[in-house]
Amino acid sequence: MGREAGTDFIEALARGLDVLRCFRPGQPTMTLSEIAAVTGLARPTVRRILLTLEELGYVRAADRGFALTPRVLELGMAYVNSLSIWDVARPHMRQLVAETDESTSLAQLDGSDIVYVSRVAVPKIVTLAVTIGTRFPAVATSMGKVLLAALTPAELTAVLAVPSRSGIAARWQPERAELDRELREVRARGWALADQDLAAGIRSVATGVRDGDGRVVAALNVTVHAAETSLERLTDEHLPRLLRTAAAISQDWARLDTVPMAVQRHGDGVPATPPAGHPG
């Protein structure tokens, strides 16, 4: 296979990869002559490559030639396992920030708190700063409401019994009956709103992000300053973009779940802390 390459290019490695790539679905076994024809390499070269790959455990001798071994999966899984679900989400989050000019975050539930696990922020002066690992009382945040709404009644009771470790006294601290009404609305419409429930000046809207089994495993939000953005703009303009972004992330996570040995869903590989911004 002809190719242009720089002085640091290792032709022998490239030829080995060419041999591995020539195996196709429906053709699990190939003869030396067939591999030479597909790759354009000389038969003696193909033979040396195949014997080397066999020694390394990536191919095996078969009835009519050679076949790949399951060890080849390690090459692809090195890439898959190097990604966390948060890394997969970040390009979508950056696009959402570009569309809204507002910060967006992903959070998960930890006891009765939400914990920020990924964030793309825009620089704005706000009441409360947020970094990866920041926690807030779940009931007073849009992301927290989404995550609480995904729980069973028994799970919700157990979660609410856990004291908050956020150190934040939220403005909205509902009784259980009021919270249950709020969560029923969240379940019915598929998204949650927090209008200065956590702290004055902070508004946010959030929705769930799902794994390959359809379970809500995180919440995604858009946060705005109440003095700059009305509730109408938040729900009419930003919410549709948020819902599309959450759906796109969920689709990517579902694809990741279909790969054997894929990364763990919960909390693996939290990226570096981005700039602080507003929460919720």
**What does each of the 280 residues of the chain score in pLDDT, given as a tens digit?**
555 667 888 999 999 999 998 987 777 899 999 999 999 999 999 999 999 999 999 999 988 899 999 888 777 766 556 557 788 899 999 999 999 999 999 999 999 999 999 999 988 766 677 888 899 999 999 999 999 999 999 999 999 999 998 988 999 999 999 999 999 999 999 999 999 999 999 999 999 999 888 999 999 999 999 999 999 999 999 999 999 999 999 999 888 777 654 334 333 433 333 333 445 5
- For CA atoms 121, 125, 131, 133, give the dihedral sign: negative
**Beta-carbon contacts of residue 215 (< 8 Å; ≥ 6 apart):** 150
Q: Residue 129 and residue 200: Cα distance in Å, rounded?
A: 13
pLDDT of 97 reads 96
What count of residues does the chain have?
A: 280
Please state, in angstroms and rounded to a whole number, the distance separating the CA atoms of residues 183 and 193.
11
Q: Cα 204 from chain centroid? A: 21
